[in-house]
Chains A and B, each alone.
Chain A
């Protein structure tokens, strides 16, 4: 296992791109998030770790307004998400890329159409030629230039993840949100995805939140790790700092990942 090796990017600790304060979210009687606080700085990759079902995906869905928190404030790129009107929220969403756990590619469209879709709908001033160039650029970035005319169903899980990331990159977002980018992938493909996440950060100068329960992914991509347990962040820091703790739940999470 290699530690994060892309260190050329700079983290601007003066500039917060995401600020989450005392956020609570329940679904009926299920209290998923219970007072979450987190800051993400410009140029930073932060990995949110936690077991399945702890509300990690809920947290990033709150950031793009797919869900609404019950209490607390979420500030993304200087805007309070829950206060935004539909048009303002759409404008913010164009600046935030969201890569879904199962890629969520439009299965009635081929790869080219999947990538063109956000541009055709949002960048109406672009000519077909310019759109074609942008599609080629992101396909090149994810290393799948030869798959343009294939359907999502023809691709492997890892390739679908890459195309999912490419579809978000095509709008040149300032923030990337990755929901379980390595789940369901073999170790080699997972390593490739981890490398891609670091490349994206470097090439597009993005800040990222990576949701995962995969410690290898966390170690390879994180500038900081935030450990989500029982609906709260119990530890935030570098990978080594977080797992140097004697906290039993964190230790058992670490041991389960690396000793099994």
Chain B
């Protein structure tokens, strides 16, 4: 016998509740550490740029396809309803409101949560269980700064850019659909599309994407950085990164929409 086992473990509430509370506290410490280290040297700009490209390239095809299909299908499905009221000319406004205020950033965030969040969770998880993170630490390199802070900055920067791109592609898809039904020029389509959009809509869309990017980066790195139990733990980290990110993105969407409505009201 090499280890001595003492008394059985006692819990304050129950194993499940204790584990959840400890998990929440650890997540809080992780986020607090991010804010402590995100604004101090060294910054590793090059790693951030590399990660931005990685995230962009990893998601670009899917975001292009999804944005385009959303624009085309949404336009196609909305047309009959508007035509009933003789309001087909409002189609560009309706599409732009839907894409800018909600769909562009939400669709992008969900795609990035799936593609980027899982990839970050798996990458860092694999580095954790193969002791690569420990190796970095014993080489006097701060792995939190090098791996976590850089990836979170990258998602905070890349997700809003991808979100604007998704919205643009969606509007192009919508224009193509409108153009097949009526002889509308691209400029007049865009003019009527942006007439319905205010500065607060654009600002909210970008702010929302920043929050979504932060969520995807934080959850992916948190799950990966704290992975354990070998390859099983890596799979679990990747899976939990996606599920938890998506869950939080939906909650954040509701909260931010509510806040922006209050701002508009005042």
Contact = CB atoms under 8 A, between A and B. Distances in A.
Nearest to B141: A121
Contacts of A55: 2
Contacts of B135: 98, 100, 104-106, 167
Contact of B139 (A91, A93, A230): A93
A66 B137 contact: yes
A104 B130 contact: yes
A96 B138 contact: yes
A231 B2 contact: yes
B6 interface: yes
B140 A90 contact: yes
Contacts of A150: none
Interface in A41-89: 51, 53-55, 61, 64, 66, 86
Contacts of B126: 107
Contacts, number: 78
Q: Chain A contact residues (Cβ within 8 angstroms of B): what range?
A: 35 or more
Q: Chain B contact residues (Cβ within 8 angstroms of A): what range?
A: 20 to 34
A31 interface: yes
A117 B142 CA distance: 12
B3 interface: yes
B9 A29 contact: yes
B138 A66 contact: yes
A34 interface: yes
Interface in A225-256: 229-231
Nearest to B123: A108
* Main DSSP-derived SS at the A contact region: loop
Q: Counting chain B CB atoms within 10 Å of each CB, which of A34, A54, A66 scores highest?
A: A66
A84 B126 CA distance: 29
B252 interface: no
A106 B1 CA distance: 36
Contacts of B4: 30-31, 34, 231
B134 A94 contact: no
A101 B139 CA distance: 16
Contacts of A102: 130-131
A28 B137 contact: no
A53 B2 contact: yes
A100 B134 contact: yes
B181 interface: no
Contacts of B127: 106
Contacts of A118: 139-141
A122 B141 contact: yes
B5 interface: yes
A31 B139 contact: no
15 contacts: A31-B4, A31-B6, A53-B2, A55-B2, A66-B134, A90-B140, A100-B134, A102-B131, A104-B134, A106-B135, A118-B140, A118-B141, A122-B140, A167-B139, A229-B2
Ordered nearest first, which 5 A-B pairs have the shortest CB separation? A104-B135, A90-B140, A104-B131, A98-B138, A118-B139
Interface of B: 1-9, 123, 126-127, 130-132, 134-142, 146
Given A28-B9, A121-B141, 6 more contacts: A30-B3, A90-B142, A108-B123, A118-B139, A122-B140, A229-B2
